[in-house]
Structure formats: structure tokens, C-alpha cells
Structure 1
């Protein structure tokens, strides 16, 4: 447990279930600490070993940290902004308020009210920034290159899976309409019969409300006679190794906040075909590291996947390009340093 007197930045996480925001916090905080930032998180659903404050320690926020006149409260959700406003304006705790917005939609009046009370705002993409009505800094997410990396051992190849074929194409994430899992499955049903050297895998949780959706996909695959070549893995213990086993990754979301999976795939030296949901189009160099199509357009998705399935050498070449692209532009350390610069401005601001 960190000493509250040493903590200068608090990154609350007020959601118990795993989400993209939670994943971002879990990856960023250790990196930020390595870079010298005095940061800790607060809230449920976080792994052991992460720098976490307890709720009673919140009482210590009335006193500024040892080296500063105030702290930064870095919110990523509405409820986290609301608590920050309560702590600062009602309880008069010495805080500067920062919000990171990944939303790709018009904000509600309530969210706009919250955002206007922030001292600084970060957008995770140009698109998310376009929905903000306040000054902001665009800082795209990065990926931990020490965790997501190219194949290194025999376990990182398709042979280790026992699946048929020479090449794997995959789609990872929760199995539901929003994620476009059905578009991927339909593309595989159309393409795989002509290309026996490829096998497709779907990995991700099916929640209760999406059980019927998941069962229909399996029925469609069975009806096409492809149950041995389009596999539903469910949740796997370690998704990272599956990225390394792929030759092509497909991110077919109809709707997304930011969307880290293309970066995770590219860092694993895997080419990516994606929709233009979320920030996907800002992550992929179209025609060099993969391809981008309109969200929800299943026919366009199938057409974009087809050249890679027909020519695995193209997928491999674009996977090499993807690795270079991510290393140059999307390292987690780059994101952490950019956020650190915002922290420094707020911590050095003695107004308010």
C-alpha cells in the first residue's frame, strides 16, 4: 500500500468488471511508476501488486503531498469525474482534475457539465477529440511491447495448438453484435472452403444476454461444415500467446471506444484487418500493416480479408510492417510520457 503523502496522482477505477479502461489503467500505472511518477489507483476489480490506495486513505487528501501543493485526480469515467468534483469543490481537497475521454459520440448534457469542470482533458484519438467542446490534448493509447511481442518459442506457433492448417486468422473480444463477431464468422464461412491451409479462431467471453447470439454463430459454422476449422475458444488463460500464433487478426467491431486489440496484434507481428470503429483507422497504416473498412459492412470486410487468405506471404509482410509501425508510434512508454507531461503542467499550476 503506497504512503498517501508520497502519492501525487490518483487514477481511480470505479468499475468492478474488466473493461478497456481498466486494462489501460493496469498497464499504464506500472510503466508510469518506472518513469518516476508518484501514482496510485483506487477502486475495485484491480489485480494484486498494483499500487492501490484504500478508501480510508482518501481522508489524507485534505493534506497536499509532500512535494506539491495539490494532487491530480485522473478520471476516465463519469462517476470518477463526479467524485473528483465532490472531493475538490465540496470537501475542498487540494486536487487538480483531469479527464481522459475515449467516447466516439456526442456527450450528454451531464457529461458536458462534468467535463467543463476539469482542469485538463485528454482525448485518446482525433475522433474522440472531435466530440469535445473544450480544449484538449490528443494522446493515443500505447501497448506494452515487453508483453505483446513476436513469436519466440515453439509454443508461439500454430503447431502448438494442435489445430489443422498452416496459418491462423483470429478475432478476439467479447462475443456480441457490437463487436462484429458475426461479420468475422460469415467472412470465414465464405473464404475458408477455398483455402484449406487456414484455420480461424474466435476467443472471448459470451455473457448471458448474448448466449443466443453466440449459439447462432456456432450453428452457422456447423451448417457450413466448418466446425473443425472455425473454433470458438471461449476465454483463454493467456490471449497474448494466441496473438503470436496468428498470421492475420481481424477487428470487425461495429462500435468501439478506442480499441487496443489491433495494437496488441501488430506488436505481435500480425497483420490486421479492421473496421473504422473506435480509433482503429488511426492505428493501422492501410495497405501497409493491414486494411480498414467501413464498420458494419460485412461484404467489405470479407473483400479486405480475402487477399491475405489467398496470399499468406502478403499477411506475413504486413505483419513485419505492423511490428515496426507499433514500435515507432505506439509504445506504452510514449503514451505514459505524454500523459506525464500533462501531469507536470497540472502539478506545477498553483492556481485554484
Structure 2
């Protein structure tokens, strides 16, 4: 537990279930601390080792931090913006509020009301910025190259996970649900694998509550195609970088996405990518002469089949795309770069 007098930036997480926002906080806060940003998390569902404060510490927010005139509250959800507004405007606590938006949809009137009361707004992509009606700074999410890095020995990486070392593997990672396009990946593999005996496919991720029937339907579709031993549902794993290192192709089949880190995680592990044109995917990937992967229309099974086949059937092209993707991830999308650019937003507010 951090002493509130030493905390200058609060990163609230008011959702207990693991989500993309929660994962961002877990990965970003230690990097911010390493850069000298005195940030601590607040809320449930976070690792005990993560620097954090308790709810009782909020009673001391009238007291300024040791070396600043005010603190910064960095919200990433509506439920985290509202209490900060109340603390700042009703209770007159010395706070500035930053909001990071990853949404690519028209905001509700309530969300617009909250966003207009922010002191600074960050958008995770240029598309996200286009949905905002206030000035914003675009700072894309970054990747931790200490966790996501290429396999030294691809065959050994496969064997360590109990996967066949002599097969090439196409993967799709993330929550199993219609929005994520898991069915498109499954159907594309059902079309492709019978003609490519050296390939298998894996789906890593969890289906929850109302999506369990969707997952069971996909498994039945695979069974009826006679491919249960080649299209594998491996569930959710905490060592997901190890699973990326086993892949030879990654497919991001989402129908909708806010930002979407999975193509970037694949790129950082030197895996070529096929991704739908949603979220920030068009800003992560490059196509053409410096190809890091292929960008396709969302919700188009024929496009996915064609794009995946073009990389599965051309190992030299796939290898080149993987190398370029790795170089791009490291040069343009490091988590240290993300933390540094967020720090510049904080510094501007501290200077007011």
C-alpha cells in the first residue's frame, strides 16, 4: 500500500472482472513508476504487487502531495470519471482529471457530459479521436517487449505447450464471442485446413455466460467438419506470450474493436498477421511494400480465407511480414513510449 502523500497520479480500476482496461493498468503502472511517475492504482481486481492505495486514502485528497500543487486522476471508464468530478467540483479537492478513450462509436449524451468536464483527454487511435467532440491527444497503446518477444526455437515453443512441433499453427486469441469474430476464424480454418495437412489452428480465450452456447456451437461445427484434432479450443491462459511464440500466423477476426492489442502482440513475437479493418488495426499494420500483415474488410469470410491462404502458402512472404512487424512494434509501439507520452500530458496539467 502506497502512502497517499507520495502518490501524484491515481489510476482507478472500478471493474472487478479482467478487461482490456484492467490489463492496460496492470502493464502500464510499473512502467510509469520506472519513468518516475508517482502513480498508484485504486480498486478491485488488481495484483497485490501493483502499487496501489485504498479507498480510505481518498479522504486525504484535500492534502496536496509532497511535491505538487495537485494530483491527477486518470480515468478510463465512465464509472471512473464521475467520482473524480464529484471529488474535484463538489468537494473541492485539488485534482485534475485525465480520461483515456478507446471507443470507436458515437458517445451517449451522458458520456459526452462527463468528457466535457475532463481537464485532458487521450485517444488511443486517430479513429477514436474522430468520435470525440473535445480536443484530445492521440497516444496508442504500447507493447511490453519484455513479455512479448520472438521464440528462440519455434519447435521447442510448440512442444512446451503440448502442441505438435512439426505442424504450422494459425491462432486466434481473445474472448470467444460473436463480436470478436471467433466464428469467422473457425469457418476460415474449416475451409483451409483440409487442403493444408501441415497446418493446425488454435483458439485461446474464454467464453463467459451468454457466450458459452456460441462457443459450444463452434465446437460442434468443428466436430461435424471432422477437424476436432486440428482446430483446438485451448481455453484461457495467463502465459499468453508463450502461445504467441508457438504461432506461424495470427488472425484477428473482430467485427468491432475499441483498440485491440492482439495484432501488436503477434507482431512483437514476429508472427505475421491477418486483421479486419476495425479498432486501431489499420494504424498498427502496414501493407504494400513494407507489409507486416494483411488488412481485410470486417465480417467477410471470403476475404479472411483468401488472406490467410496467401500467407499460409507463401512462407517467405510470411517470414518477411513477421520480421517487419517485429521491427515496427519495437520502433513505434513500445509501452515505454506510451508511458512517456502520457507523462507529458500529466506534466502539462501539473504546470497549470
Regarding TM over 0.5, the answer is yes
The bucket for the TM-score relative to the shorter chain is over 0.9
Are the counterparts in 1 of residues 176 and 205 from structure 2 also a CA contact under 8 Å?
A: yes
1:310 aligns with 2:313: yes
Are the counterparts in 1 of residues 154 and 246 from structure 2 also a CA contact under 8 Å?
A: no
Looking at structure 2, the residues matched to 141 and 109 of structure 1 have their Cα atoms a distance apart, in angstroms, of 26
List gaps (5 residues or longer) in structure 1.
Answer: none
Looking at structure 1, the residues matched to 163 and 340 of structure 2 have their Cα atoms a distance apart, in angstroms, of 41
User: Which SS does the other structure have where 2:146 is aligned?
Assistant: coil
1:299 aligns with 2:302: yes
Looking at structure 2, the residues matched to 159 and 322 of structure 1 have their Cα atoms a distance apart, in angstroms, of 24
The number of equivalent residue pairs is: 349
Are the counterparts in 1 of residues 102 and 123 from structure 2 also a CA contact under 8 Å?
A: yes
Q: Give the Å deviation of 1:154.
A: 6.7
Cα RMSD (Å): 1.2
User: Which SS does the other structure have where 2:331 is aligned?
Assistant: helix
Task: Find the counterpart in structure 1 of residue 26 from structure 2.
Answer: 26
Looking at structure 2, the residues matched to 153 and 22 of structure 1 have their Cα atoms a distance apart, in angstroms, of 32
Looking at structure 2, the residues matched to 232 and 144 of structure 1 have their Cα atoms a distance apart, in angstroms, of 26
Looking at structure 2, the residues matched to 38 and 220 of structure 1 have their Cα atoms a distance apart, in angstroms, of 51
Give the 4+ runs in structure 1 shifted more than 2 A. 152-166
Looking at structure 1, the residues matched to 256 and 44 of structure 2 have their Cα atoms a distance apart, in angstroms, of 26
Task: Find the counterpart in structure 2 of residue 168 from structure 1.
Answer: 169
Looking at structure 1, the residues matched to 347 and 91 of structure 2 have their Cα atoms a distance apart, in angstroms, of 24
1:342 aligns with 2:326: no
Looking at structure 2, the residues matched to 7 and 161 of structure 1 have their Cα atoms a distance apart, in angstroms, of 41
Looking at structure 2, the residues matched to 293 and 85 of structure 1 have their Cα atoms a distance apart, in angstroms, of 41
What does 1:277-296 correspond to in 2, within 5 Å?
277-287=278-288, 288-296=291-299
Looking at structure 1, the residues matched to 4 and 162 of structure 2 have their Cα atoms a distance apart, in angstroms, of 50
Q: For residues 117 and 320 of structure 1, do their structure 2 counterparts lie closer, same or farther at Cα, with a shift above 3 Å needed? A: same
What does 1:1-352 correspond to in 2, within 5 Å?
1-152=1-152, 157-164=157-164, 165-287=166-288, 288-349=291-352
Looking at structure 2, the residues matched to 311 and 28 of structure 1 have their Cα atoms a distance apart, in angstroms, of 37
Q: Give the Å deviation of 1:156.
A: 5.1
Question: Normalised by the size of structure 2, how large is the TM-score?
Answer: 0.97
List gaps (5 residues or longer) in structure 2.
Answer: none
Looking at structure 2, the residues matched to 201 and 154 of structure 1 have their Cα atoms a distance apart, in angstroms, of 16
Q: Give the Å deviation of 1:236.
A: 2.3
Question: Normalised by the size of structure 1, how large is the TM-score?
Answer: 0.97
Are the counterparts in 2 of residues 168 and 247 from structure 1 also a CA contact under 8 Å?
A: yes
User: Which SS does the other structure have where 1:2 is aligned?
Assistant: coil
Looking at structure 2, the residues matched to 156 and 35 of structure 1 have their Cα atoms a distance apart, in angstroms, of 35
Q: Give the Å deviation of 1:346.
A: 0.5
Looking at structure 2, the residues matched to 222 and 79 of structure 1 have their Cα atoms a distance apart, in angstroms, of 42
Deviation per CA, 1:18-52: give whole Å up to 9, x if none: 00011111100000000000100100000111011
